[in-house]
A and B are shown apart, each in its own frame.
Chain A
Amino acid sequence: MGADFVQFSLTPILIGTLAAIACALPGNFLILRRQALIGDAISHVVLPGIVVAFLVTGTVAALPMLLGAGAAALLAVVLIEAIRRLGRIEPGAAMGVVFTALFAGGVLLLEQSDTSRVHLDVEHALMGNLETLIWLRATGWDSLIDPVALSHLPVELPRIAVVAALMAALTVIFWRPLKLSTFDEGFARALGLPVSAIGLSLVIAAAVAAVAAFDAVGSIIVIAMFICPPAAARLMTNSLAVQVWWSVAFATLSAVLGYVLAGYGPLWLGFDSAVSAAGMIATVSGVILGLACLFGPHRARVGVAAGG
Chain B
Amino acid sequence: MEAVLAALTLQAGYNAALVTLGAALLGFAAGTAGTFLFLRKRALVSDAMAHATLPGVGLAFLVMVALGGEGRSLFGLLVGSALSALAGLLLVDGITRRTRLAEDAAIGAVLSVFFGAGVVLLTIIQTLDRGRQAGLESFLLGSTAGMLFEDAVLIAAGGATVVALIWLLRRPMTLVAFDPGYAAATGVDTRRIDLAMMGLVMAVTVIGLKLVGLILIVALLIIPAVTARFWTDRVERVLWTAGGIGAAAGYTGAALSASAPSLPTGPIIVLLAAGLFTGSLLLSPGRGVLAAVLSRRRFQARVHRRQGLLALARSEPIHDPLTLRLLRAEGLIRPDGVATDKGRAQAAKIARDERRWDVAREVHQDTALTGRYDGLTPIEEVFTPDEIAGFDARLGPPHPVGG
Chain A contact residues, CB within 8 Å of chain B? 31, 34-37, 39-40, 44, 83, 86-90, 92-97, 100-101, 103-105, 107-108, 111-112, 122-123, 126-127, 220-221, 223-224, 226-228, 231, 234-235, 262, 266, 271-276, 278-283, 285-286, 289, 293, 296, 298-302, 307-308
Contact = CB atoms under 8 A, between A and B. Distances in A.
B222 A107 contact: no
B287 interface: yes
Contacts of A108: 263-264, 267-268, 271
A125 to B, nearest CB: 11
Interface core residue of B123, B127, B270, B292 (most chain A CB under 10 Å): B123
Nearest to B99: A299
A48 B352 CA distance: 62
Given A100-B219, A279-B118, A227 B263 contact: no
B120 A279 contact: yes
Contact of B109 (A35, A87, A278, A289): A289
A286 B119 CA distance: 14
Nearest to A40: B108
Interface of B: 38, 41-44, 46-47, 94-95, 98-102, 104-105, 107-109, 111-120, 122-124, 127, 137, 140-141, 215-216, 218-219, 221-223, 225-226, 229-230, 262-264, 266-268, 270-271, 273-274, 277, 281, 287, 289, 292
Contact of A104 (B43, B124, B270, B292): B270
Contacts of A40: 47, 107-108, 111-112
Contacts of B120: 262, 275-276, 279-280, 283
A88, A90, A96, A111 pick with most chain B CB within 10 angstroms: A96
Contact of B113 (A273, A286, A298, A302): A286
Given A97-B219, A271-B127, A293-B98, A231 B113 contact: no
A281 B266 CA distance: 28
A111 B264 contact: yes
30 contacts: A37-B47, A40-B47, A86-B292, A87-B230, A87-B281, A87-B289, A88-B287, A93-B225, A93-B226, A96-B47, A96-B222, A97-B223, A104-B267, A111-B263, A111-B264, A122-B140, A220-B115, A223-B111, A223-B115, A224-B112, A227-B112, A228-B109, A262-B120, A271-B124, A275-B120, A279-B115, A279-B123, A280-B120, A289-B109, A296-B99
Contact of A224 (B47, B113, B264, B287): B113
Contacts of B119: 126-127, 220, 276, 278-279, 282
Contacts of B118: 279
Contact of A300 (B100, B127, B266, B281): B100
B44 A96 contact: yes
A279 B120 CA distance: 5
Contacts of A93: 38, 41, 43-44, 222, 225-226
A296 B95 CA distance: 12
Nearest to B124: A275
Contact of A281 (B47, B105, B116, B277): B116
A284 to B, nearest CB: 9
A234 B116 contact: no
Contact of A92 (B41, B98, B270): B41
Contact of A105 (B215, B221, B267): B267
Nearest to A87: B281
A103 B264 CA distance: 13
